[in-house]
Chain A
Amino acid sequence: MSLELRGITKTFGSFTANDSIDLKVETGQIHAILGENGAGKSTLMNIVYGLLKADSGEILIDNKPVNIAQPSDALSAGIGMVHQHFMLIPVFTVAENIVLGHERAGKFGVLDIDTARLAIRRVSKDFGFEVDPDAIVETLPVGIQQKVEIIRALIYEAKVLILDEPTAVLTPQETDELLKTMRDLKSKGTSIIFITHKLREVREVADQITIIRRGKVVAAVSPQTPEGELASMMVGRAVDLAPQKHKHEIGAPILVAENLTVRDVFGVAVVKSVNFHVSAGEVLAVAGVQGNGQSELARALINLEDHIEGSLRLDGKEIRGSSIYDSLHAGIAFIPESRELDGVVGSFSIAENLILDLHDQAPYSKGINLSARVVLAEAAKRVTEFDIRSQSTADAVSTLSGGNKQKVVIARELSRPVKILVASQPTRGLDVGSIEFVHERILAERDAGRGIILFSTELDEVMALADRIAVMYKGEILEIVDSNVTREELGLLMAGVSSKKLNA
């Protein structure tokens, strides 16, 4: 089945999210849609799936125009979608999740699950999935949960499958498996729309690539196109994908953690007795699949967690148990994982956000008097230095793009005297241009002799920036390896298989 979009346009107020987009997905092809955050990919797919209505343009299936006003229309037309955030009920079984919304009752009004069980077995067999229909969804790994979503689409006879950022939540191994599944589906005649911003994956599986920028189709290219070229088409200018990392001497350890344990409110250890050090002029990357204790470890480094045990020394001085304020002012810069929640105060101006931590220090204040003049003057300097794009430093931070918000956070954190920079998922949700900026900045701090500890679930980022890589799995640091490790080895570590075990 082929799917064609002709002149799809969608505006929100004065903002054009999709500007007369033309696109054709041929039968049995994997069509990748590549674009930055906010380029209009999701809007377009929501239109195809009937969640949004286009202002103009038409959707054709097998060259015949169809009217898709709601998701059920899309389903009956043979379009299935796997959302980035799964639409599964965690406490239900796989089979229950699959019949959800299509419940059929058997004798005496009893819910008919058996038919679904059989269908799951059949589809699983056809595609070589190993999915138990009676498993509770929340007990399954993320990769399997995603397969449940795919199975659901297949059972309801989707001929065109939309995958929205499907690899964002997967380990490298799971990603490889998904890519294989996509090829299998394709060989059986299913068309796939693959939405992503990861260039490597696109080049691996796509038959056709459409690049969207600012709501417009800017190019339709073949998967042989080099990554650098794809990236610059996505961003609209030349980008440096591999940041320059200068070789230089690594100094003495600055931050040393010994038997550091972090417990949650229930007393369960989420970080289990980890040991590591960060030296001057190096980037220690902490890799791992989301949810293996990295977030808690990052927060613990500035005492943001409530229950921390063990030892954490900065320049030989114990800082575990200090206040957050003292930790920050002892020389730790902290880029939190959640920008919106922990990084900025949305309703405050840029200038105010730049002094969240420094408002009671000279020169911003004298006694309890806050000097608005100094605050604005300093803000003007930071805005220039960190290239924060806004009309005025008095603008509310909530009006800025994600990249500019992150620049505000980075500018603030680096305006204190810093020995250690803790960066937790610093490029999450950012566009390519902003990612480039953040990476350059991190390496500049490294070259200036600061110790960097980078928490990231993006393998490419880890490989590009790290001097050493610590892999976390289930709260433990499984191993700390050199940066010349291969993707495959790293992937195995992230899945909990340590190289010691492999060699044994």
Chain B
Amino acid sequence: MRNRLLRFGQAIKLPGLSFGLAFTLTGLIIALSDSRVLAKIGSPLEFVKSAGSLVGNSYLALFQGSIFDINLTKGHSFFQGFYPLSETIVTATPLILTGLSVALAFKSGLFNIGAQGQFIFGAIGASYVGFHFHLPIGIHIVAAAVAGMALAAIWGGVVGLLKAKTGAHEVILTIMMNYIAGYFILWILKTKSFLRPGRIDPIAPEVGLNARLPLLAGDNLRIHAGIFISLAAAVFVWWLLTKTTIGFKFRTVGANSQAAKTAGISVPFVVTVTMAICGALAGLGGAVHVLGSEHALNADIAGSFGFDAITVALLGRAQPVGTVFAALLFGALRAGGRTMQSSTGVPLDIVLVTQALIVLFIAAPTFVRYIFKLKKLNSAASLTSKGWNG
């Protein structure tokens, strides 16, 4: 037990410090980029006071926008105060799934940049089954989600197959596949089968009521059952990697593909299957997003879920649990950033700067170790994705 605690402490020390460093720096940026604060530079005391209050208010707004806001309870139930937390989770739900997609690929030594495209195909599949068919409650959700996953698994699997058969690099392949997916959705939303009757802007019909994921906390909060799907997926990925022979093959190829090959493990098989499962995970993200909160497919359905996924997986050290927490953090920053902008006038971009700084410090562990004079962490915790020749 003590050992486990120690290991847990080791695992979160670096992300924790990076996190703290990023917030400290962001605070400085918030203060120094504000004209009202800078106007007081003449008197140091006033300057520090106003800077302090601005930074304090900004972070308070960030909290109120992402976790709990007492003001929202006025005239409503106490529960309504958790509206921000609900928004955080709604944003995090698809992000967990795309993050897991990238993390699983990392474990097999692959760099999946393609979660964005896979997400789009998941959304398209789920949306079509969701609005085109009329199925009984329960079955409809499963059918829509499975359709999305299947399409995305093929989309991802093709990348794996191409890499396995021709040696083409998955980074190039997935980037290109993202372009194709991004323009494909623009096209398909103009076709008769997808364009909502009576509309000319690219939006599909809403999915049937039976195909929607149930809301968890009443009609006023958007939080839906998708979060359970995401958490179950995290458990699945953990189980796959640590408890199965397939996961063992994945990890072996990821850690040393030459030794894996010499021991008789088929590297092409691992590459193809990994990419298909990664596609299915990201596709499930797209499906959950459509069935849970958006209900209708639109051109911008994927937002940046597929790209943020890379950051989330890195921040989570490619571990399922880490990915869940990293996605929740990103959801919180996204949800809280809006409130910060509206209540203190600090632009949303600053929140994006915070995100970027966290990632920067995570990606440069030597730098953070240098700052805090840490010893080298257990190397087994490091990521194993390879470069161009991998």
Contacts and interface: CB of A to CB of B under 8 A. Distances in A.
Interface string A335-365: 0100001111111100010011101100001
Given A348-B252, A360-B245, A343 B264 contact: no
A356 B265 contact: yes
Contacts of A370: 243-245, 247-248
B259 A341 contact: yes
Contacts, number: 74
B379 A359 contact: no
B387 to A, nearest CB: 16
A259 to B, nearest CB: 25
Contacts of A14: none
A346 B259 CA distance: 10
B264 A329 contact: yes
Interface in B261-284: 261-266
A328 B379 contact: no
Interface string B229-246: 000000000000001111
B238 to A, nearest CB: 13
A325 B264 contact: yes
B255 A356 contact: no
A400 to B, nearest CB: 14
Given A348-B255, A396-B380, A343 B244 contact: no
B256 A346 contact: yes
A343 B263 CA distance: 8
Contact of A347 (B264, B265, B380): B380
B108 interface: no
Contacts of A360: 245, 249
B68 to A, nearest CB: 41
B86 interface: no
A384 interface: no
Interface string A354-389: 011101100001001110100000000000000000
Given A345-B256, A348-B252, A396-B380, A365 B245 contact: yes
A344 B258 CA distance: 9
A345 B261 contact: no
A345 B266 contact: no
B246 A347 contact: no
A368 B246 contact: yes
B174 to A, nearest CB: 25
Contacts of B249: 359-360
Interface string A299-340: 000101000000000000000000111011100001010000
A40 B249 CA distance: 38
Contact of A356 (B243, B247, B263, B384): B263
Contacts of B255: 345-348
Nearest to A343: B259
A304 B263 contact: no
B384 A324 contact: no
A347 B245 contact: no
Contacts of B252: 345, 348, 356
Given A347-B255, A356-B252, A396-B380, A328 B264 contact: yes
B162 to A, nearest CB: 18
Nearest to A357: B263
B262 A336 contact: yes
B31 to A, nearest CB: 42
A356 B245 CA distance: 10
Interface string B213-226: 00000000000000
B186 to A, nearest CB: 40
A304 B261 contact: yes
Contacts of A369: 243-245
Given A345-B255, A347-B380, A357 B244 contact: no
Contacts of B265: 325, 356-357
Contacts of A344: 256, 259
A369 B260 CA distance: 19
Contacts of A365: 245
A336 B380 CA distance: 24
Nearest to A338: B258
Nearest to B247: A370
B269 to A, nearest CB: 10
Nearest to A365: B245
A342 B245 CA distance: 20
A267 B343 CA distance: 69
Nearest to B261: A324
B165 to A, nearest CB: 13
Contact of B262 (A329, A342, A348, A355): A342
Given A302-B262, A345-B256, 14 more contacts: A325-B266, A336-B262, A341-B256, A342-B258, A342-B259, A342-B261, A345-B255, A346-B256, A347-B384, A359-B248, A365-B245, A368-B244, A370-B244, A396-B380
Interface of B: 243-249, 251-252, 255-256, 258-266, 379-380, 384
Interface of A: 302, 304, 323-325, 327-329, 334, 336, 341-348, 352, 355-357, 359-360, 365, 368-370, 372, 396, 398, 412
26 contacts: A304-B261, A304-B262, A323-B266, A324-B262, A325-B264, A334-B262, A341-B256, A342-B261, A343-B259, A343-B262, A344-B259, A345-B255, A345-B256, A346-B255, A346-B256, A352-B248, A356-B252, A357-B265, A359-B245, A359-B248, A360-B249, A368-B245, A370-B243, A370-B244, A370-B245, A396-B380
Per CB-CB distance, the 5 closest pairs between chain A and chain B, nearest first, are: A325-B264, A356-B263, A357-B263, A345-B256, A342-B262
